[in-house]
Structure 1
Amino acid sequence: MNIVQLLTQRDFLIAVLAAVSMAAVVFTFGSTFIVKSEMKQRIKRVALEREKMRAEEMARLRGGGATEGRGIRRATETKTYMKNTVDRFDLKKAFQDDATVDKLAMAGFRGQGHLTTFLFMRFATPLGVFLLAALYTIFMAPGGRPLYLNLAYSIGAGIVGAYLPVVMLKNTTQKRQFSIKRAWPDCLDLLLLCVEAGMSVEHAFKRVAKEIGQQSAALAEELTLTTAELSFLEDRGRAYENLGRRTGLDGVRSVMTALIQADRYGTSVGQALRVMAEEGREGRMMEAEKKAASLPPKLTVPLILFFLPVLFIVIIAPALIKVFGGPVASTIGGN
């Protein structure tokens, strides 16, 4: 049977459409369960982080040097082989710098377990990519190339693979920051309403964290951690600074600076939030105007490539048919 006939058969098309529909249904329900499980993991991680901070604060108040609490575990348990590899090769000295912990926190990864996993991936990813590339170029697809050239290709692939963990971490950070930045103006408005209604800053953060979770789970997580820090840290400014450092956004840092100054000099928190909320709304409007202004240049290339040729064909085609089709029609009529 011809492939064209097979593709145009009614039963085949019905089977393909049914398969696509079933795949769409499975993907829709599957993505719903994945989002729910991810939200549960985030809530669990925040709860464990709060318990750890509670234990550290209680140990500090009691004057003890230990900061370990009973029954407290990290959100993710590090594999033994990862920890042994990091300790054996001293990967902290090789890959960790002063900004590594802050970069992981911006991506939503906190704790020693995530740091150990990241350092292990920085070490193992280039080796794994090199071995896979060498296996493919030497044994599976040699292509008549000399051995040293295949090894050079494999080493190049390993060098590229060394940047994969950093690129993935940066991508995760950008997605998280975009989610926080999009919901931050609404968060400021809710904070302003709660503070002007008579709530304390701790209760306002806690209330807004519950309300903003549907719009941005990342922002709700950060606000929950800030609520815990405000409850257990003596210096409230430190909790505000930690929020700005974890998010890495200038807008959040400016608001936290305003709250620190209001708490330090005894000024009105509501007034500071009102000013920052107005600036947030103006910034959102300016961002929308910026995107609208950049739309015409972006549409220029698609307009030239796709719209103008079709327009020219529609305009010129009738004239061409009339010019080149006239002699042929007259010849046929004379015969």
Structure 2
Amino acid sequence: MFDNLTAMITERLGPAGPLMLVAGLALLLILSTVPLLLRQKPDPMDKLAKSGRARIDAETKAILRDTRRNAKLNKYAQYLEPKSAEELGQMRLKLLQAGYRTPDSVRLYYLAQMVLGLGLLAAGTAYYVMFKDGPDATMQTKLMYIVGPGAVGYLAPKYWITKRVEERKKQIEEGFPDALDMILVCVEAGQSLDQSIVRVSKELRASYPALADEFEIISHEMRAGKDKSNVLNDMGERCGVQDVSSFVTVLNQAANFGTSIADALRIYASEMRDKRVMRAEEKANKLPTKMTLTTMMLTVPPLLIILVGPSVVSISELGNLAVK
């Protein structure tokens, strides 16, 4: 019976008939769930907030949805957020390291994955049906043109965030020695650490905007009354750079033991300058190795043509004369 049904579908719709039928059923199921999503009941967290309950049990705290965020996205929060608090925290930290600090950043990230994945999957299916479908089409071709774009769309946001994190860490790492020198100058001039951070955040805006953003966040949190050690620890976690984490440790130890912040900054700034010189020397030592392959590809073939070309022409002419 199943073979007869498959043969009938193939006869009417062509070789890709079963695939088109499955895709149509999937689209029908997706469209049928939209009214259910629109009619879903209000979030239980809204009822708890209105009732004014002060004590919320551990099971309710496990609910990750936050109704203070975007109202449109809040309807689909259970589909656009991880189910565990640990996974949510890791994703939020990664987005912070990439420079995305909006309350809806996690939801927008998962929304982008879903929209791009389904959109490119539908586009790939349409392209395959219109242009590539035929009796000679193999399963590998179907997967490449249908599943391939969907996988690319699903993984594209993750790749983008990873690249953003790497670029931002590199920018912070390159600008941190200069920032330390500027903080040291401000502190030795008589300004407090808070005032120095505010001044440095303004001065670094043109050269290193990522590092300037971090210093600006520190200044705002300190003005709001947050504990200085917690503010610095949060900065080290957001940046994800070892130099910044060491700088936070130095400042916390100087505050705990009552030593001079200027002396600690002077020593650590000197170490950062030495480390920057060492990094530059390391890059310079790697340059000849990287240039070897390029030099061989761009220099050896033209040299061979110049040296061997005339001999090849002469040999071919002598061969023609001998034949005549």
Same fold, judged at TM 0.5 (above): yes
Structure 2 residue aligned with 1:274: 266
Following superposition, the deviation at residue 79 of structure 1 comes to: 5.9
Following superposition, the deviation at residue 162 of structure 1 comes to: 2.2
Out of 92, 97, 100, the position equivalent to 1:101 is: 92
Out of 242, 246, 251, the position equivalent to 1:254 is: 246
Following superposition, the deviation at residue 313 of structure 1 comes to: 3.5
Out of 118, 128, 133, the position equivalent to 2:119 is: 128
1:163 maps to 2:138: no
Q: What secondary structure does 1:183 align onto?
A: helix
Q: Which amino acid aligns with 2:191?
A: M
Which has the higher relative contact order, 1 or 2, with Cα contacts under 8 A spaced 6 or more apart?
Answer: 1
Following superposition, the deviation at residue 249 of structure 1 comes to: 0.6
Identity %: 28
- Aligned CA distance change for structure 1 residues 133 and 79 (closer, same or farther; 3 Å): farther
Following superposition, the deviation at residue 167 of structure 1 comes to: 0.8
Structure 1 residue aligned with 2:104: 113
**Aligned positions, number:** 254
In structure 2, list runs of 5 or more residues that go unmatched.
1-53, 56-67
Q: What secondary structure does 2:88 align onto?
A: coil
Distance 2:196 2:125 in 1: 57
In structure 1, list runs of 5 or more residues that go unmatched.
1-63, 66-76, 330-335
CA contact (8 A) 1:192 1:273 kept: yes
- Aligned CA distance change for structure 1 residues 134 and 230 (closer, same or farther; 3 Å): same
Cα deviation code 1:143-163 (max 9, x no counterpart): 445696666442343234322
Distance 1:116 1:103 in 2: 13
1:92 maps to 2:82: yes
Query: CA RMSD of the aligned region, Å?
Result: 3.1
CA contact (8 A) 1:138 1:147 kept: no
Distance 1:139 1:122 in 2: 26
Out of 184, 196, 199, the position equivalent to 1:192 is: 184
Comparing 141-150 with 214-223, which one deviates more in the overlay? 141-150
Following superposition, the deviation at residue 177 of structure 1 comes to: 1.6
Distance 1:328 1:166 in 2: 63
Structure 1 residue aligned with 2:59: none
Out of 238, 251, 254, the position equivalent to 2:230 is: 238
Q: Normalising by the residue count of structure 2, what TM-score does the alignment of the two structures yield?
A: 0.69
Structure 1 residue aligned with 2:200: 208
Distance 1:141 1:253 in 2: 54
Structure 1 residue aligned with 2:280: 288
Q: Which amino acid aligns with 2:151?
A: I
Following superposition, the deviation at residue 81 of structure 1 comes to: 4.2
Distance 2:256 2:155 in 1: 43
Q: What secondary structure does 1:93 align onto?
A: coil
- Aligned CA distance change for structure 1 residues 140 and 86 (closer, same or farther; 3 Å): farther
Distance 1:80 1:125 in 2: 22
Q: Normalising by the residue count of structure 1, what TM-score does the alignment of the two structures yield?
A: 0.67
Q: Which amino acid aligns with 1:91?
A: E
CA contact (8 A) 2:197 2:216 kept: yes
Structure 2 matches for 1:34-113, cutoff 5 A?
Answer: 80-87=71-78, 89=79, 91-93=81-83, 96-113=87-104
